């Protein structure tokens, strides 16, 4: 209970200073960074986007167990309580300063240490004396005069035990609630500058061709509504950067380094493009892929402005959550619509999408290209700067792999006999999809009908009408051919280290 009071108040202190330095978040972030890749993979696979609440919950449970132990020990030896709480606070302070290189980052932990230790000492002193655990005390001291006095005072105030536990609980709740309130006030859309008009593009995305969307229940919408966009990042607390003070340095192997403000950025000519973004962690048939209309400055224009020096190999991008990635310079400059994006689907980037600015590079997986909450861009060599996921064993260069997903029928869905429509999405960004084939029950491969082509940087819907001849279970497999003529490989791989390969396959039932 005393530790909870400490953490609650620390959360308030963090909200007033550096929100991500709040003890649970700081320890959680370090846990994410340090977790071995297979553990992370497992967490994403098992819990999906709930992985972070579950991590925080796990840390909280562990903390309750550890502090309960400290509390019990402290009822015998007070110094154990003091040392225990200080040790916990030290872990939190080290975690916070490891991720946030500012002395202020240790402040919430220090506050936690003082409050928790104070509350613990009060609890131990009065809690044990009020008769809570008399047997825990050595027999020799049980009848000491000191003891007697406290037992008496305990009788005078029978509600004391409730007060003792309630006090820290109240402090914990007030701290946590106050912290949350303060951070929501400090970070409303208006407070961070997310209430502005975006400039009109000099080159518009234009209407999508008619017929990109299949008129069929259960098929994925071609344009992903913002609320349904997949989200994958290492940020335990979503960074809320203030656009009015934000600046983006572009430096390293350049002729003239610059630092662009949000206003500078909005003054540059913008283009708008429909682009499909996908995640390397997407398993075969998985959901981590979305499509939107992105507004931004072409990276080529930015790099032109600073002047790239010979020897530069990569555009190294860093985000406010400690993420970084390596974009190969030749990819950034090969003419594709690689953007420093400020808008998505007609509005400023949502905060969880990387406000004020992020990158998007068609044809590269998000983890090697789509840095959110940008804090800096640097032209450098692969030796100079190593990307966050590269350090953890993932690929440094990772073009998207061709994937084909069956959306209808759903896995194990039972459909009426007769004509069955099998349909889904296929993507191979920047190469495009030229053919989708479907095979039922190990029969012949049949060519699916492709929906209208919206361009190589976008996914493509496909469908096949199939006549069922027998009831019961049927198995479907799909594969695509990309714009280079390459047929998707059958052999399955895990997402680690450079993306999942293999044909999606499901079973469905035809009613008798
Ligand atoms: N700052 C930051 N940017 C990031 C990440 C991250 O963890 N931190 N994750 C990357 C990964 S792995 C992917 S797939 C995309 C996902 O972008 P989204 O969450 O907007 O869909 O963002 C990329 N950009
Ligand atoms: Mo990703």
* CATH code, domain carrying 296: 3.90.420.10
Q: Tell me, yes or no, whether 165 and 53 share the same domain.
A: yes
CA–CA gap between residue 451 and residue 456 (Å, rounded): 13
- Please tell me the predicted confidence (pLDDT) of residue 89: 78
Q: Tell me, yes or no, whether 356 and 463 share the same domain.
A: no
- Would 428 be classed as within a structural domain? yes
What residue's CA is closest to ligand 1, atom 9? 233
- Please tell me the predicted confidence (pLDDT) of residue 346: 96
Q: Which of 248, 259, 232, 261 is nearest to 353 (CA)?
A: 232
Q: Determine the distance separating the centroid of ligand 2 and the alpha carbon of 163, expressed in angstroms.
A: 49
- Would 283 be classed as within a structural domain? yes
What residue's CA is closest to ligand 1, atom 6? 233
Q: Tell me, yes or no, whether 305 and 279 share the same domain.
A: yes
Alpha-carbon torsion angle 279, 458, 452, 421, nearest 10: 0
Residue 376 CB coordination number (10 Å) = 18
Radius of gyration of the chain (CA): 28
Q: What is the residue range of 93's domain?
A: 2-144+152-186
Residue 140 CB coordination number (10 Å) = 7
* CATH code, domain carrying 460: 2.60.40.650
- Would 43 be classed as within a structural domain? yes
- Please tell me the predicted confidence (pLDDT) of residue 214: 95
Q: Is the CB of 370 under 6 A from ligand 1?
A: yes
331, 364, 392 - which closes a domain = 392
CA–CA gap between residue 26 and residue 40 (Å, rounded): 17
Q: Is the CB of 373 under 6 A from ligand 1?
A: yes
Q: Is the CB of 292 under 6 A from ligand 1?
A: no
Q: Tell me, yes or no, whether 329 and 445 share the same domain.
A: no
- Would 208 be classed as within a structural domain? no
Q: Tell me, yes or no, whether 384 and 412 share the same domain.
A: no
What residue's CA is closest to ligand 1, atom 15? 366
Q: Which residues pair with 294 in a beta bridge?
A: 273, 344
What residue's CA is closest to ligand 1, atom 7? 233
Q: Tell me, yes or no, whether 425 and 292 share the same domain.
A: no
Q: Which residues pair with 336 in a beta bridge?
A: none
Q: Is the CB of 501 under 6 A from ligand 1?
A: no
- Please tell me the predicted confidence (pLDDT) of residue 10: 62
Nearest ligand to the C-alpha of residue 370?
A: 1
Give the chain's domain count.
3
CA–CA gap between residue 499 and residue 18 (Å, rounded): 35
Q: Tell me, yes or no, whether 50 and 157 share the same domain.
A: yes
Q: Determine the distance separating the centroid of ligand 1 and the alpha carbon of 231, expressed in angstroms.
A: 7
Q: Is the CB of 230 under 6 A from ligand 1?
A: yes
Q: Is the CB of 495 under 6 A from ligand 1?
A: no
Q: Determine the distance separating the centroid of ligand 2 and the alpha carbon of 234, expressed in angstroms.
A: 10
Residue 152 in tokens:
């008496």
- Would 199 be classed as within a structural domain? no
Q: Tell me, yes or no, whether 388 and 413 share the same domain.
A: no
What residue's CA is closest to ligand 1, atom 19? 231
Q: Tell me, yes or no, whether 344 and 246 share the same domain.
A: yes
* Crossing angle (nearest 10°) for helices 2-16 and 107-122: 150
Mutate to test the pocket of ligand 1, among 51, 228, 233, 387 (most ligand atoms within 8 A of CB): 233
Nearest ligand to the C-alpha of residue 230?
A: 1
Q: Tell me, yes or no, whether 175 and 104 share the same domain.
A: yes
Nearest ligand to the C-alpha of residue 372?
A: 1
* Crossing angle (nearest 10°) for helices 107-122 and 78-99: 160
Q: Determine the distance separating the centroid of ligand 1 and the alpha carbon of 391, expressed in angstroms.
A: 16
Q: Determine the distance separating the centroid of ligand 1 and the alpha carbon of 469, expressed in angstroms.
A: 45
Q: Is the CB of 233 under 6 A from ligand 1?
A: yes
Q: Tell me, yes or no, whether 416 and 485 share the same domain.
A: yes
- Would 74 be classed as within a structural domain? yes
Q: Which of 225, 397, 372, 373 is nearest to 314 (CA)?
A: 397
Residue 49 in tokens:
């986007």
Burial level of 110, CB count in 10 A (0-12/13-18/19+)?
middle
What residue's CA is closest to ligand 1, atom 5? 233
**Residue 483 to residues 261, 383, 434, 459, 487, Cα–Cα distance (Å):** 39, 33, 6, 12, 10
Record the pTM. Answer: 0.80
Q: Is the CB of 389 under 6 A from ligand 1?
A: no
pLDDT one digit per residue (tens) for the chain, 512 residues: 776 766 766 676 666 777 777 877 878 788 888 777 667 767 776 776 677 778 888 778 887 788 778 778 888 888 887 888 788 878 877 887 777 766 677 777 777 777 777 776 777 776 654 434 433 333 333 343 343 333 333 344 446 666 666 776 777 777 777 777 777 666 789 999 999 999 999 999 999 999 999 999 999 999 999 999 999 999 999 999 999 999 999 999 999 999 999 999 999 999 999 999 999 999 999 999 999 999 999 999 999 999 999 999 999 999 999 999 999 999 999 999 999 999 999 999 999 999 999 999 999 999 999 999 999 999 999 999 999 999 999 999 999 999 999 999 999 999 999 999 999 999 999 999 999 999 999 999 999 999 999 999 999 999 999 999 999 999 999 999 999 999 999 999 999 999 999 999 999 999 99
- What is the number of the ligand 1 atom nearest to the C-alpha of 231? 19
Contact partners, residue 293, CB within 8 Å, separation at least 6 = 205, 223, 272, 273, 274, 344, 345, 346
Q: Is the CB of 226 under 6 A from ligand 1?
A: no
Q: Determine the distance separating the centroid of ligand 1 and the alpha carbon of 372, expressed in angstroms.
A: 6
Q: Determine the distance separating the centroid of ligand 2 and the alpha carbon of 343, expressed in angstroms.
A: 20
Q: Is the CB of 205 under 6 A from ligand 1?
A: no
What residue's CA is closest to ligand 1, atom 18? 231
Mutate to test the pocket of ligand 1, among 235, 366, 390, 395 (most ligand atoms within 8 A of CB): 366
- Would 217 be classed as within a structural domain? no
Q: Is the CB of 232 under 6 A from ligand 1?
A: yes
Contact partners, residue 87, CB within 8 Å, separation at least 6 = none
365, 392, 419 - which closes a domain = 392
Q: Determine the distance separating the centroid of ligand 2 and the alpha carbon of 499, expressed in angstroms.
A: 10
Contact partners, residue 445, CB within 8 Å, separation at least 6 = 437, 438, 439, 479
Q: Determine the distance separating the centroid of ligand 1 and the alpha carbon of 450, expressed in angstroms.
A: 30
Q: Tell me, yes or no, whether 54 and 171 share the same domain.
A: yes
- Would 496 be classed as within a structural domain? yes
CA–CA gap between residue 263 and residue 192 (Å, rounded): 13
């Amino acid at each position: 209970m005393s530790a909870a009071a400490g953490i609650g108040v620390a959360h308030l202190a963090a909200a007033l200073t550096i929100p991500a330095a709040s003890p649970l978040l700081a320890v959680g972030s370090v846990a994410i960074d340090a977790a071995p890749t297979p553990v992370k993979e497992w967490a994403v696979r098992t819990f999906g986007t709930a992985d972070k609440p579950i991590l925080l919950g796990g840390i909280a449970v562990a903390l309750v167990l550890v502090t309960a132990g400290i509390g019990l020990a402290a009822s015998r030896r007070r110094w154990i309580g003091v040392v225990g709480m200080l040790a916990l606070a030290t872990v939190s302070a080290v975690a916070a300063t490891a991720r946030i290189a500012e002395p202020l980052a240790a402040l919430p932990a220090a506050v936690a240490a003082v409050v928790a230790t104070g509350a613990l000492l009060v609890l131990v002193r009065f809690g044990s004396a009020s008769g809570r655990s008399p047997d825990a005390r050595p027999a020799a001291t049980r009848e000491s005069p000191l003891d007697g006095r406290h037992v008496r005072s305990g009788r005078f105030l029978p509600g004391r035990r409730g007060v003792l536990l309630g006090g820290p609980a109240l402090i914990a709740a007030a701290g946590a609630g106050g912290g949350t309130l303060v951070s929501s006030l400090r970070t409303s859309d208006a407070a961070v500058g997310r209430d502005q008009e975006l400039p009109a593009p000099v080159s518009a995305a234009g209407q999508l061709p008619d017929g990109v969307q299949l008129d069929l229940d259960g098929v994925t919408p071609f344009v992903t509504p913002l609320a349904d966009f997949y989200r994958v990042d290492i940020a335990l607390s979503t960074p809320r950067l203030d656009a009015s003070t934000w600046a983006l340095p572009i430096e390293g192997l350049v002729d003239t380094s610059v630092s662009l403000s949000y206003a500078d950025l909005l003054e540059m000519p913008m283009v708008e493009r429909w682009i499909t973004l996908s995640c390397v962690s997407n398993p075969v048939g998985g959901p981590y892929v979305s499509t939107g209309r992105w507004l931004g400055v072409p990276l080529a224009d930015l790099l032109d402005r600073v002047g790239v020096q010979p020897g530069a190999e990569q555009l190294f991008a860093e985000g406010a959550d400690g993420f970084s990635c390596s974009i190969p310079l030749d990819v950034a400059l090969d003419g594709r619509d690689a953007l420093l994006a400020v808008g998505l689907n007609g509005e400023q980037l949502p905060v969880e999408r990387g406000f004020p600015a992020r990158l998007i590079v068609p044809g590269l997986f998000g983890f090697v290209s789509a840095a959110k909450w940008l804090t800096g861009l640097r032209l450098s060599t692969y030796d100079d700067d190593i990307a966050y996921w590269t350090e953890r064993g993932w690929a440094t260069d990772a073009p998207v792999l061709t994937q084909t997903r069956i959306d209808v029928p759903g896995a194990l869905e039972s459909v009426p006999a007769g004509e069955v429509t099998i349909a889904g999405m296929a993507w191979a960004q920047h190469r495009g999809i030229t053919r989708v084939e479907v095979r039922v029950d190990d029969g012949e491969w049949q060519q699916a009908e492709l929906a209208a082509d919206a361009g190589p940087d976008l996914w493509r819907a496909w469908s096949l009408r199939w006549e069922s001849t027998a009831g019961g279970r049927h198995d479907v497999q799909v594969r695509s051919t990309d714009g280079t003529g390459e047929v998707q490989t059958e052999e399955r791989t895990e997402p680690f280290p450079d993306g999942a390969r293999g044909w999606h396959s499901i079973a469905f039932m035809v009613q008798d």
